[in-house]
Amino acid sequence: MATSKTDVKVTGSFSRTWDVIATADADTTITITHGLTGITDANANVVLTPLTAAGTLSTWQRTSVSAADLVLTKSTAVGSGAAPAQLRVHFYKHHSIDD
């Protein structure tokens, strides 16, 4: 039992998208190596979209963002483990054009 991710969109230099699977209630964190350059916790945006009832129950949250990794944590609520992808993660950094 473990958390895993499936790449949904890995092209581009400003964003990435993954689906997250946590097969057991005890699978509480996932570390995703994002591959985006120049990203910091201050300029990172994370949008978490539940895909299943387990994804909603899990209450996933962004824990931290570093230059290399995005870390997500979920509650250990009963029924929060599920084999299908339960969460879609959209991860992107602000572009200066938005300023």
> Sign of the CA dihedral 70, 61, 40, 6?
positive
Conformational region of residue 53, where left means phi above 0, alpha means psi within -120 to 50, and beta covers everything else: alpha
* Nearest residue to 16 (alpha-carbon basis) of 87, 93, 79: 93
Point out the least confidently predicted range of 14-23, 42-51, 62-71, 73-82. Answer: 73-82
Domain ranges for the chain, please list them: 3-94
Tens of pLDDT, residues 68-87:
999 999 887 777 777 788 99
CA torsion 29→89→42→80, rounded to 10°?
-30
